[in-house]
Structure 1
């Protein structure tokens, strides 16, 4: 691969459009600028030159911008920069977070973080010219807290989000599959029911139509009898057409094959014919219409017709001879159909022996209205009885409901055509399975994550405790109070002086031997730091020089820290 191809590949990785939308680009540039300013200011405050501060700021800005496309390179480079500068540690958690979620493979991530740890600790010791175990532990602890912990947290969060997305996709796939299976099962059951209805009821209705047709032309019948037989024949023919339509809808959602091109009359527009038939049969029925007619969904249109048909049938059976009012009102938001009759006559309701009733008419109407998102009211009113239905206009598609409430009024999910599936109610619904899986995964993930976090925190606490104890120990060996320094007199025996002073064998005094004024020839000197603290960028040093078993010099001077 030549240099040009490598450069182009690197550029594509850094400027990947998926990772760089416009809003993200603005945010990344702002973040890089802020980090660069902080690091540059920190280097200047540490007493470094302008050139080094500017270089560190530019390096941090570049690494911040390329961390998404080059996570391993960025992590290693930031670790090196943090070891050789004073303020680049600000970028280390950010680079570790980005690398933890974007490095593919556990071994690769382990290698990247391990290499970064070795480089960070090694360069820190080299730049400070110290190799004490204390600094090794302190540097390792710092890297674990500000690099490894953010990387692990980022990796865990990313893996959990990926698992959640996978489970959601699986759940959606199971839902679609189950809906398809349920739709096919419904279609097969509808076809079986339609076939049974066609074979049984169709044959009986056809036989009734043929027999009544033959009886109608019998010369021995009177005119009144012939009219009654004609009504029976027309009813049987109409029932046979209805049966074919129902069979067709059950099979594939269309009208029966023998229905012809004419639309069915059992719709709201056919209510007038239904009222005329009732009047012809001797019923006292009036029809009232109001509002501007609007197009209706097929299921709504048919439900409105069935409500009026059921209301007239019930009024004829239970309150014969009473005046009946049929109202069809096109309201702004719904269609209202109503059948109301007055109180029953002196003869009272027809006995059950005279009027056969299955008792399922109103139940069927409520279910039919509920399927289109409407409601049904049925009950006594002013001595009579009133049956009314409120049906939403809808968008031309039938609706379905799978709740137990009656007053729903268009709050149900859409129902597709037969065979396409739809809402499925099942105790083994994949949505419930998904909830169980997510609760189990979440609990397991929380337990594992909390366990890992607890182990890390315990380890870090132990390291912090050891580092704190070691720091206190090293400080006690290197620090001296001014009052003790003033009380020591030149010429005192060496052993008496050393008994009053710390040992000086500390990591904090390791680099003081070559600093300050020249030591007396042939003398052995002990350098200690003042317990008063630093003076800006300088530390106060107390030096004691011994020769021939006596203190020959004590001196105070300042050194750069």
Structure 2
């Protein structure tokens, strides 16, 4: 008996599971929706039983109307056309189904697939509703009156809500389609702009490579030949060597900049070089705090008086901030070469508890700058933006005594990148 009972319970459970799989469309019945449908079914059951009770119904009729209203409410989404026709036929005969007819009409406008099928379902429901209204004893003179009343009732409680819901659904679907198309157009536009920007960057990179690369190569070749000229003094050979090293370094940096413009990815730079080293095994300058000493040595070799001072306990910076410190010193030294020739320069690297401070101060120039100084006018402005992007700040301006100071404050560790200015 126990095995038979288990098999019977298992069979009932399987049938219930199969019925639920048919009833609840996969992916559409969430917990919130299930709760709402059950609540609506309960409300319609109470309205149906209450309406029937007001009109004189009693006993099993009330229970049947309540159960029928709840059941038809639950399956109205799965079988919209069948429930519409059935409810339209029952409403004139059983007034308790009147509240349900309003909800079924509204729901059928959305869930009946296809305009032709929806039109056929509403026409059939209208015929059934009017026909059911004419069932029973009536006087011949009242036939048209009953038909007119049933028609108006059907139009107000069933057809009008169904058309309104169908229009609202189609409008919402159209808006969603337009929004998706607009988003797709924006994505395509972004891709087109990105491709155009990439092509322009590649063109600029090619122009830079063809023009500047050729000139820098000529400078490197001629300075290399001049360096071994026996007629030059030792001092002149040192200066020519500085020029040759600068041209070779410039070619390597130009190659990296061209790669950034072409591919949009910055090549890794040697931030882990030894403190006294000025270049890695490929000949590229160490592009970080480790390379600042090389910049100072190169300036000294060229005859400029540059002092370097370090203070505080050394700590590591984020790669972008480390590179920004190198660029601040490089641009500040270049600015001093141009506008304060012969003036002593001091480079101060301070490891403060919360930030790394780099300061370059040149004293009052003893000579006037050359008239043919080439300047783009964007170097110091670019330093401020570079420091801001790594979460720091950079200031450049006159110093006391007639000199000029460039100072930057950069964060330790991985600082969040700020958004670039438009």
Contact 2:315 2:412 in 1 (8 A): no
Query: Using the alignment, how far apart are the partners of 1:265 and 1:110 within structure 2?
Result: 78
- Decide whether aligned partners of structure 1 residues 134 and 291 sit closer, same or farther in structure 2, where only a CA change above 3 A counts: farther
* Matching of residues 481-560 of structure 1 within 5 Å: none
Q: Partner residue of 1:180?
A: 191
Contact 2:316 2:412 in 1 (8 A): no
* Matching of residues 147-546 of structure 1 within 5 Å: 147-252=158-263, 253=265, 255=267, 265-280=286-301, 281-288=304-311, 292-297=315-320, 301-319=322-340, 321-327=343-349, 338-341=358-361, 344-345=364-365, 347=366, 350-353=368-371, 355-365=373-383, 368=386, 376-380=394-398, 382=400, 384-388=403-407, 401=420, 404=422
Q: Partner residue of 1:551?
A: none
- Decide whether aligned partners of structure 1 residues 389 and 323 sit closer, same or farther in structure 2, where only a CA change above 3 A counts: closer
Shift of 1:382: 4.9
1:44 is the counterpart of 2:53: yes
For residue 84 of structure 1, give the secondary structure of its aligned residue in structure 2.
coil
- Provide the TM-score with structure 1 as the length reference: 0.60
1:34 is the counterpart of 2:54: no
- Decide whether aligned partners of structure 1 residues 285 and 20 sit closer, same or farther in structure 2, where only a CA change above 3 A counts: same
Moved more, 11-20 or 85-94: 11-20
Contact 2:224 2:241 in 1 (8 A): yes
- Provide the TM-score with structure 2 as the length reference: 0.78
Contact 2:348 2:360 in 1 (8 A): yes
Q: Partner residue of 1:76?
A: 85
- Decide whether aligned partners of structure 1 residues 197 and 93 sit closer, same or farther in structure 2, where only a CA change above 3 A counts: same
- Decide whether aligned partners of structure 1 residues 274 and 8 sit closer, same or farther in structure 2, where only a CA change above 3 A counts: same
Q: Deviations over 1:85-107 (max 9, x none)?
A: 22322122321222111222222
Query: Using the alignment, how far apart are the partners of 1:262 and 1:83 within structure 2?
Result: 96
Query: Using the alignment, how far apart are the partners of 1:374 and 1:170 within structure 2?
Result: 41
Q: Deviations over 1:142-179 (max 9, x none)?
A: 32222223222221221122112222322233233333
For residue 195 of structure 1, give the secondary structure of its aligned residue in structure 2.
helix
* Structure with greater helix share of residues: 2
- Decide whether aligned partners of structure 1 residues 228 and 329 sit closer, same or farther in structure 2, where only a CA change above 3 A counts: same
Query: Using the alignment, how far apart are the partners of 1:392 and 1:109 within structure 2?
Result: 68
From 85, 96, 104, give the equivalent of 2:105. 96
Q: Partner residue of 1:455?
A: none
From 56, 59, 62, give the equivalent of 2:68. 59
Query: Using the alignment, how far apart are the partners of 2:114 and 2:201 within structure 1?
Result: 53
Contact 1:213 1:230 in 2 (8 A): yes
- Decide whether aligned partners of structure 1 residues 128 and 223 sit closer, same or farther in structure 2, where only a CA change above 3 A counts: farther
Shift of 1:217: 1.6
Q: Partner residue of 2:29?
A: 20
For residue 310 of structure 1, give the secondary structure of its aligned residue in structure 2.
helix
Contact 1:308 1:337 in 2 (8 A): no
Query: Using the alignment, how far apart are the partners of 2:33 and 2:298 within structure 1?
Result: 73
Q: Deviations over 1:224-278 (max 9, x none)?
A: 111111111111111111112222222333649xx97788622344334334444
For residue 341 of structure 1, give the secondary structure of its aligned residue in structure 2.
strand
Q: Which has the higher contact order (CA 8 A, sep 6+)?
A: 1
Shift of 1:43: 1.6
- Decide whether aligned partners of structure 1 residues 264 and 279 sit closer, same or farther in structure 2, where only a CA change above 3 A counts: closer
Query: Using the alignment, how far apart are the partners of 2:294 and 2:65 within structure 1?
Result: 92
Moved more, 188-197 or 64-73: 188-197
Query: Using the alignment, how far apart are the partners of 2:145 and 2:412 within structure 1?
Result: 81
Query: Using the alignment, how far apart are the partners of 1:390 and 1:42 within structure 2?
Result: 80
- Decide whether aligned partners of structure 1 residues 214 and 322 sit closer, same or farther in structure 2, where only a CA change above 3 A counts: closer
Shift of 1:63: 0.9
Contact 2:109 2:161 in 1 (8 A): yes
- Decide whether aligned partners of structure 1 residues 72 and 238 sit closer, same or farther in structure 2, where only a CA change above 3 A counts: same
For residue 374 of structure 2, give the secondary structure of its aligned residue in structure 1.
coil
How many residues are paired up?
389
Query: Using the alignment, how far apart are the partners of 1:372 and 1:24 within structure 2?
Result: 49
Contact 2:350 2:357 in 1 (8 A): yes
Q: Give the aligned CA root-mean-square deviation in angstroms.
A: 3.6
Unaligned runs of 5+ in 1: 1-6, 405-561
Contact 1:341 1:385 in 2 (8 A): yes
